[in-house]
Structure 1
Amino acid sequence: MAGGRQFRRDAFSLWLEAPLVIAMRCHEMGFAALTGSTQNTAEMTKMVTEKMAATAESVVAANFAVAKAMMTAASPSATARAVSEAAIKPYGKRVRRNVKRLAAKKR
Structure 2
Amino acid sequence: MAGGRQFRRDAFSLWLQAPLVIAMRCHEMQMAALTGSTQNTAEMTRMVTEKMAATAESVVAANFAVAKAVMTAASPQATARAVSEAALKPYGKRVRRNVRRLSARKG
Q: Please give the TM-score of this superposition, normalised by the length of structure 2.
A: 0.97
Does 2:65 match 1:65?
A: yes
Alpha-carbon shift at residue 78 of structure 1 (Å)? 0.3
How many residues are aligned here?
107
Alpha-carbon shift at residue 3 of structure 1 (Å)? 6.1
Paired with 2:36 and 2:47, the residues of 1 have a C-alpha distance of: 20
Instruction: Determine if contact 1:13/1:95 at 8 Å carries over to the other structure.
Output: yes
Q: Identity, % of aligned pairs?
A: 90
Letter paired with 1:63: N
Paired with 1:101 and 1:11, the residues of 2 have a C-alpha distance of: 20
Gaps of 5+ in 2: none
Match of 2:85 in 1: 85
Paired with 2:5 and 2:25, the residues of 1 have a C-alpha distance of: 28
User: What root-mean-square deviation, in Å, do the aligned CA atoms of Structure 1 and Structure 2 show?
Assistant: 1.1
What are the superposed Cα offsets for residues 40-93 of structure 1, whole Å, 9 maximum, x if unpaired? 000000000000000000000000000000000000000000000000000000
What are the superposed Cα offsets for residues 12-51 of structure 1, whole Å, 9 maximum, x if unpaired? 1110000000000000000000000000000000000000
Match of 1:51 in 2: 51
Detail structure 1 runs of 4+ shifted over 2 Å in the superposition: none
Gap change, CA 1:35 and 1:3, over 3 Å in 2:
farther
Paired with 1:2 and 1:95, the residues of 2 have a C-alpha distance of: 22
Match of 1:104 in 2: 104
